[in-house]
Structure 1
Amino acid sequence: MIQEIAQWIQQCAKAPVALAVVTACISTFVHGSGAYALDEDDLQRLLETGECPGCNLQGADLRRLDLTGVNLEGANLKKANLFYTVLDGANLSGTNLQSANMAYARAIPLITDAMDETGESVVIPAQFIGANLASALMNYADFSGAEMMEADFEEAYIFKTQFVGSQLQRTNFEITFVHDVDLTDANLCGSTYWGGNDYRRACNVPVSDLEE
């Protein structure tokens, strides 16, 4: 941030203008940056309705909240604090969770009171399809049964986290710290891991289809 402000000052100072114009340049930069900060109205909407697709919740403090079944599809949760947050059955597909704190978070399937045609309870998995989880902190979390296809975990810190039965097809684990993680029955078909290699075991589609 400091370097970016300095660059703006230098750019403004190159023009034959007075100090007032330089000040205006700085003001423009600061207010422009603020456009990406947390939108308090969006936060209130999430807390009141549980529906906030596309919302701007950058840096939001959502620690220890029960956000079961919320819709945050395509939302901006960059650098948000989701420490111990419950996200069972929540929809975070396409969400930006870059550098978010998801330590001890839980995002397991939600068993509803509704019944399907066979008389079984309808189960809604937590969804992170195509989510950006780059550089996220994900230690001691539980994503068992979550749908996380095509998610990006690059440079994320994942320690003692559960992905039991999770759908992790075509995910990016390249340059990711992964240690003591439970991937029992997880589907990793086509995921990219260390060295840029594709995970091909237990794939339900031919290798040729993965390469198209």
Structure 2
Amino acid sequence: MKLFHAATLSLLAPLFLSGSALAFDPLHVQRLLSTGECFRCDLSGADLSRAHLIGADLREANLQGANLAGTNLEGADLTRANLTGANLTQAFLTNVDFKQANLDEVNLSRATIYDANVFGASMNNLDITDANIFNTAIGIGGEDGAEIPDWPRLD
């Protein structure tokens, strides 16, 4: 009987542990909100809606599925961050660094995006409905869904 329980527990353990692997770390959320820095933090699934994260250091952070609706991320550094499936509806994204970030399936509807750096970012299946985008290489068209703006020549 003990062997049966041990075998059942070992088979079910991955199911219980896999759910917690996708949950954010509350200490990481607290650190971000109090210091504005959270390098390589696990914020997956966190509710950061309407937060003021101006200039936040979120390099390499896991924000997969996070709720950032209405959040002010002006000047934030999200280099190599994972934002897959994140909700950035009505977010303020001026001068944000999204270099090499994963923006696949991100909801950017009604977001304000000015002068954001998206160099090398993955941007498959973005929702940019009614977004206000200026001087940023996000748009409809192009090979991967990104439209490169017509930059002024420097000659």
Q: Shorter-normalised TM-score: what interval? A: 0.7 to 0.9
Shift of 1:35: 2.8
Bigger mean CA deviation after superposition, 30-39 or 71-80: 30-39
Please name the residue that 2:99 is paired with. Answer: 129
- Which position in structure 1 is the counterpart of 2:23? 37
CA deviation after TM superposition for structure 1 residue 164, in Å: 0.6
Equivalent of 2:122 in 121, 127, 152? 152
Counterparts of 1:33-182 in structure 2, within 5 Å, are: 33-108=19-94, 125-166=95-136, 168=137, 178=140
Tell me the CA shift for residue 27 of structure 1.
Answer: 2.3
CA–CA distance in 1 between the matches of 2:150 and 2:24?
42
Structure 1 regions of 5+ residues with no counterpart?
A: 1-16, 109-124, 179-187, 205-212
Q: Structure 2 vs 1, CA of residues 41 and 56 (structure 1 numbering), >3 Å: closer, same or farther?
A: same
- AA in 1 matched with 2:80: G
Q: Distance in 2 between matches of 1:21 and 1:102?
A: 43
Amino acid at match of 2:63: L
TM-score of the superposed pair, with normalisation by structure 1: 0.64
Equivalenced residues, count: 151
Verify the 8 A CA contact 1:146 1:163 in the aligned structure 2: no
What's the offset of the Cα at 1:107?
Answer: 1.1
Q: Is the 8 A contact 1:87 1:105 kept in 2?
A: yes
CA drift of 1:147 comes to: 1.0
Larger strand percent = 1
Shift, 1:24, TM fit: 2.9
Give the Cα–Cα distance (whole angstroms) in 1 for the partners of residues 126 and 149 of structure 2. Answer: 22
| CA distance in 1: counterparts of 2:149 and 2:28, whole angstroms | 41
Matched position secondary structure for 1:159: coil
Q: For 1:80-104, what per-residue CA distance to the aligned partner results, in whole angstroms no more than 9, with x for missing partners?
A: 0001000001111111000000000
Q: Which residues of structure 2 form unaligned runs of 5+? A: none
User: Percent of counterpart pairs with the same letter?
Assistant: 30
Checking the alignment, whether the CA contact within 8 Å between 1:193 and 1:199 is kept in structure 2 is: no
Equivalent-residue separation in structure 2 for 1:156 and 1:199 (angstroms): 15
C-alpha separation in 2, matches of 1:142 and 1:102: 10
Give the whole-Å Cα distance in 2 for the aligned partners of 1:51 and 1:202.
Answer: 32
Give the root-mean-square deviation of aligned CA atoms.
2.6
What is the SS of the residue equivalent to 1:158?
Answer: coil
Distance apart, 1:200 and its partner CA: 9.4
Give the distance between the partners of 1:164 and 1:43, measured in 2 at CA: 30
Q: Which amino acid aligns with 1:192?
A: E
- Higher radius of gyration, 1 or 2: 1
Distance 1:149 1:143 in 2: 14
Q: Give the match's secondary structure for 1:34.
A: helix
Q: TM-score, normalised by structure 2?
A: 0.85
Deviations 1:7-66 (A, max 9, x none): xxxxxxxxxx62441123212431244133111111111011101010000001001111
